[in-house]
Structure 1
Amino acid sequence: MTAKKPFGLPSVKLILIAAVAGVLAGAAAVYVKEEGYGNGNAQTAALSSDCEGAKDHSAALTPFTKGQVAAMVAAQKPVSLQNVSFNGPEGKPLSVQDFAGKTVLLNLWATWCIPCREEMPALNALQKEMGSDKFEVVAVNIDTGDDEKPKAFRTDYGIDALGYYRDGTMGAFNALKKNGLAFGLPVTLLVGPKGCLLSAMNGPAAWDSEDAKGLIKAAIGS
């Protein structure tokens, strides 16, 4: 099947949205009402003394949060995301802790969220170019219901480099929202090798831009 081009917003407009988001700190995100179900109560995005060292790492990245990723805000507190959980490609339960040793760009998205859909090919391109044993884009779909829509979207739009991660309960989103890290979609968090939050953004970005790649290179120390 021939991959479709991203629909809705042209890529140039996505770049403009990302630039505006840098000024408005993520106001381009699609607001999501907190759901009263899911496993959010079992998940945590908690203050942790184990993440004290991440503060310096986060501060060192500030010069790289510019241009298309200017809306990335450095973590102000030592927050561990290790217990934020979702399902892996085979439906196996996973958590951020399973990616220990890697820098992770954790992105939550849904098929009904137009900015999410528009930025997904860019996230795919970033993973294709920079994915390694040191870095992974972990894009978690939070559509409720079955897998039909997210899998069809991935096929139709040629999303072939990203692992298939799912949380149909919205527990991961609710856990982030309760800790003030998410108010809408898409939401993207840069997570260090120990599962500690480095920076976060609400709203879309041009993740295949040179600005984004520069931020990731700085985060993984290459």
Structure 2
Amino acid sequence: MSNAAKSRKTWLAGLAAVALLSAGAAWYGLAPHDPMASVTAECRASKATAERLKPLAKGEVAAVGVSGAPKPPPVIAFAGPEGQPMSLADFKGKTILVNLWATWCVPCREEMPALDKLQAELGGPDFQVVAINVDTRNRDKPKAWLRENGIGNLAYHADPEGKLLQVLQKSGHVVGLPTTFVVDGSGCEIALLKGPAEWSSPDAVAFMKAALGRS
């Protein structure tokens, strides 16, 4: 069994935790979303990228769903490295791999070193791993965990209020943690994974290089 398969098995066991979190949190509505967004010129241009990715969703990233009709992701808000308000629009022009994680999520913790390596290998002006922590209790714990485990390449983003998770559960992006999705430089979502992956594996690196148009 591959590392990704083992992690997905653990991930399935954690779905109940997210369900409980949803039940206990206040309802948070989706921001208005244009139903015609999927047919905008911007996202039609992203379809070529998605088509390029489809044959590369294999091996350690076989569970990644590549979109047949790229469209803007749900509007979400979170805090940046300095605590400043941010949204995915702040990264427009750059391909981003958005990862939602929590310290109480075992598969999340297991894949963080791989995400850190992916950022180290591919990060730059055209690409960034945007890992967003969704712990809602001890707000100092996630930063301490990252330091203790040598995760030094990822900028720290967080939503300690839990609102982002509510939005993405309503949109169907999140059924458990971790959840990861890829947004291209045009701001269009081109791939989604509900569960863990070995993000520093050759399969994952090839997949992300194709998303970036790199050979």
Normalised by the shorter chain, which TM-score bucket?
A: 0.7 to 0.9
User: Residues 104 and 57 (structure 1 numbering): CA distance in 2 closer, same or farther, change over 3 Å?
Assistant: same
Match of 1:83 in 2: 75
Amino acid at match of 1:15: A
Counterpart Cα distance in 1 of 2:119 and 2:177: 20
Match of 2:170 in 1: 178
Greater alpha carbon shift after TM alignment, 169-178 vs 155-164: 169-178
Counterpart Cα distance in 2 of 1:45 and 1:101: 21
User: Residues 72 and 168 (structure 1 numbering): CA distance in 2 closer, same or farther, change over 3 Å?
Assistant: same
SS at match of 2:29: helix
User: Residues 110 and 27 (structure 1 numbering): CA distance in 2 closer, same or farther, change over 3 Å?
Assistant: closer
- Picking from 97, 106, 118, the partner of 2:98 is 106
Amino acid at match of 2:26: Y
Q: 1:42 offset after TM fit, Å?
A: 5.3
Higher helix proportion (structure 1 or 2): 2
Match of 1:154 in 2: 146
Alignment of 1:129-140 (within 5 A): 129-140=121-132
* Residue 26 of structure 2 is aligned to residue 37 of structure 1: yes
Counterpart Cα distance in 2 of 1:184 and 1:69: 17
* Residue 57 of structure 2 is aligned to residue 73 of structure 1: no
Amino acid at match of 2:188: C
* Residue 183 of structure 2 is aligned to residue 191 of structure 1: yes
- Normalised to the residue count of structure 1, the TM-score between the two structures is 0.84
Counterpart Cα distance in 1 of 2:31 and 2:81: 20
CA RMSD, 1 decimal:
2.3
- Consecutive unaligned residues of structure 1, counting only runs of 5 or more, are 1-11
User: Residues 13 and 153 (structure 1 numbering): CA distance in 2 closer, same or farther, change over 3 Å?
Assistant: farther
User: Residues 125 and 154 (structure 1 numbering): CA distance in 2 closer, same or farther, change over 3 Å?
Assistant: same
Query: Which digits, 9 at most, give the CA deviation of each residue in 1:74-108, with x for residues without a partner?
Result: 12444312722211001101000000111100000
User: Residues 29 and 172 (structure 1 numbering): CA distance in 2 closer, same or farther, change over 3 Å?
Assistant: farther
Amino acid at match of 2:14: V
- Consecutive unaligned residues of structure 2, counting only runs of 5 or more, are none
Q: Is the 2:2–2:60 Cα contact (8 Å) retained in structure 1?
A: no
Counterpart Cα distance in 2 of 1:45 and 1:84: 11
Seq. identity, % = 40
* Residue 8 of structure 2 is aligned to residue 16 of structure 1: no
SS at match of 1:185: coil
- Normalised to the residue count of structure 2, the TM-score between the two structures is 0.86
Counterpart Cα distance in 2 of 1:63 and 1:82: 26
- Picking from 207, 210, 214, the partner of 1:218 is 210
